């Protein structure tokens, strides 16, 4: 169940109009079942990166690359996100990636569908070369750019 943004009434999943006040329920985050970690890495191909990046291996925009070139990057469906993932299964402010020392940490920021690393639900995780990160329907492979 979702809450109507206009009146706060409970709105069943999949409903586009609030049954209490008639307000349009626009851009709600849709639920989904996480996909298994197998196979996503094949879509990334074999290439070396000069720095850390995420490569979409399954889901919308397969092959898209997101370079982690700043100390902090926001991830979400909000068009102002540093990494904009335009899919209803992604929350507006889904996660944050931070560079800490020589590593990259991903943190869920209260998303509806959660954050998965190598198929396990996490609130926070340090990413290692080859890890599979799932945000909504986007399954991405993390490449450290450090040869492992």
The terminus-to-terminus CA distance of the chain in angstroms comes to 42
Neighbours of 10 (CB within 10 A): 11
pLDDT digits (tens, 9 = 90+) for 110-138: 999 999 999 999 999 999 999 999 999 99
Give just the sign of the alpha carbon dihedral 137, 29, 13, 1. positive
Alpha helices by DSSP H, the chain: none
Which pLDDT score, from 0 to 100, does residue 148 have?
46
Give the whole-angstrom CA distance, residue 95 versus residue 98: 10
pLDDT digits (tens, 9 = 90+) for 57-95: 998 888 999 999 899 999 999 999 999 999 999 999 999
Q: Classify each residue of 97-115 as buried b or exposed e, where b means 16 or more C-beta atoms within 10 Å of its C-beta.
A: bebeeeebebebeebbbbb
Residues in the chain: 148
Give the whole-angstrom CA distance, residue 62 versus residue 124: 24
């Amino acid at each position: 169940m979702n809450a109507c943004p206009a009146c706060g009434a409970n709105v069943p999943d999949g409903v586009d109009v609030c049954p209490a006040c008639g307000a349009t329920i626009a851009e709600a985050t849709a639920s989904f079942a996480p996909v298994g970690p197998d196979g996503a890495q094949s879509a990334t191909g074999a290439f070396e990166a000069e720095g850390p990046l995420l490569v979409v291996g399954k889901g919308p925009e397969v092959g898209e690359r997101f370079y982690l070139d700043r100390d902090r990057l926001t991830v979400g469906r909000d068009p102002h996100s540093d990494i904009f993932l335009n899919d209803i299964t992604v929350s507006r402010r889904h996660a944050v990636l931070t560079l800490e020392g020589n590593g990259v940490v991903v943190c869920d920021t209260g998303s509806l569908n959660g954050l998965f690393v190598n198929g396990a639900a996490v609130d926070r995780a340090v990413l290692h070369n080859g890890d599979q990160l799932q945000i909504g329907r986007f399954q991405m492979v993390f490449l450290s750019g450090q040869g492992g």
